[in-house]
Structure 1
Amino acid sequence: MNISIPSILLSLGGKCLLNWALVFLQRKHIWRSFVGVFSVSLAIVDTALTLIFTTIHFHIGGHLFLLDLQLTRYHICLVVQILGQVYSALQWPVVVIASFDYFYTIFLQPAASKAKWIGRSFVTILLWCLASFYIFLLSEFVPVLEDVSHHQIHQCWVFHTTQILQVVTLLSLTLSCAALHAVCTTPSIQNPQLKDQITDQSKTHSRRSVVCQVLHIFLNTWALLLIFLAVLLLLPVGIPSYLGLNVAWLCFLNSFVIAVVLCVVCPTLQLAQGLAAVPPDSFCEWKFKFNLAAEDRT
Structure 2
Amino acid sequence: MNISIPGILLGLGAKCLLSWALVFLQRNHICRSFVGVFSVSLAVVDTALTLTFTTIYIDSDGHVFLLDLQLTRYHTCLLAQIFGQVYSALQWPVVVVASLDHLCTMSLQPSACGAKWIVHSVVTVLMWYLAALYVFLLSDFIPVLEDVPHHQMHQCWVFHTTQISQIAMLLFLVLGCAALHAVCSTRLLKNPPLRGQSTDHSRTHSRTNVAGQALRIFLDTWALFLILLAVLLLVPMEIPAYLGLNVAWLCLVNSFLIAVLFCVVCPTSQLANGSAAVPPDSFCEWRLNLAWEQRTEHDCTK
Which TM-score applies when normalising by structure 1?
A: 0.92
Which residue does 1:295 correspond to in 2? Answer: 291
Deviations 1:108-167 (A, max 9, x none): 134276631011000000000111111111111111110111111110001111111211
Establish whether residue 11 from structure 1 lines up as the match of residue 11 from structure 2.
Answer: yes
Which residue does 2:277 correspond to in 1? Answer: 277
Which residue does 1:59 correspond to in 2? Answer: 59
Residues 183 and 208, structure 1, Cα contact 8 Å, conserved in 2? no
Which residue does 1:210 correspond to in 2? Answer: 210
> Number of paired residues?
290
Q: Kindly state the Cα deviation for residue 271 of structure 1 after the two structures are TM-superposed.
A: 2.2
Q: Kindly state the Cα deviation for residue 200 of structure 1 after the two structures are TM-superposed.
A: 1.5
One-letter amino acid of the counterpart of residue 246, structure 1: N
Residues 178 and 264, structure 1, Cα contact 8 Å, conserved in 2? no
**How many Å separate the matches in 2 of 1:227 and 1:113?**
35
Superposed counterparts of 1:216-255, under 5 Å: 216-255=216-255
Deviations 1:19-53 (A, max 9, x none): 00000000000000000000000000000111011
Q: Kindly state the Cα deviation for residue 261 of structure 1 after the two structures are TM-superposed.
A: 1.4
Which residue does 2:266 correspond to in 1? Answer: 266
Superposed counterparts of 1:80-229, under 5 Å: 80-111=80-111, 115-185=115-185, 194=195, 196-229=196-229
Residues 63 and 71, structure 2, Cα contact 8 Å, conserved in 1? yes
**How many Å separate the matches in 2 of 1:249 and 1:162?**
14
Q: Kindly state the Cα deviation for residue 177 of structure 1 after the two structures are TM-superposed.
A: 2.8
Corresponding residue SS for 1:70: strand
Deviations 1:159-214 (A, max 9, x none): 11111121121133234334434543557x9x98x2x5212111122211111111
One-letter amino acid of the counterpart of residue 206, structure 1: S
Residues 175 and 264, structure 1, Cα contact 8 Å, conserved in 2? no
Residues 84 and 241, structure 2, Cα contact 8 Å, conserved in 1? yes
Q: 1:160 to 1:63 in 2, by over 3 A?
A: farther
**How many Å separate the matches in 1 of 2:276 and 2:181?**
22
Establish whether residue 76 from structure 1 lines up as the match of residue 72 from structure 2.
Answer: no
Deviations 1:86-122 (A, max 9, x none): 1111110010000000011011134276631011000
**How many Å separate the matches in 2 of 1:60 and 1:8?**
16
Residues 99 and 257, structure 1, Cα contact 8 Å, conserved in 2? yes
Corresponding residue SS for 1:286: coil
Percent identity, please. Answer: 70
One-letter amino acid of the counterpart of residue 291, structure 2: E
Q: Kindly state the Cα deviation for residue 63 of structure 1 after the two structures are TM-superposed.
A: 4.4
**How many Å separate the matches in 2 of 1:216 and 1:62?**
55
Q: Choose 89-98 or 51-60, whichever is displaced more.
A: 51-60
One-letter amino acid of the counterpart of residue 32, structure 1: R
Corresponding residue SS for 2:255: helix
Structure 2: where are the runs of 5+ without partners?
A: 295-302
**How many Å separate the matches in 1 of 2:11 and 2:262?**
35
Corresponding residue SS for 1:10: helix
Residues 81 and 158, structure 2, Cα contact 8 Å, conserved in 1? yes
Cα RMSD after superposing both structures? 1.9
Structure 1: where are the runs of 5+ without partners?
A: none
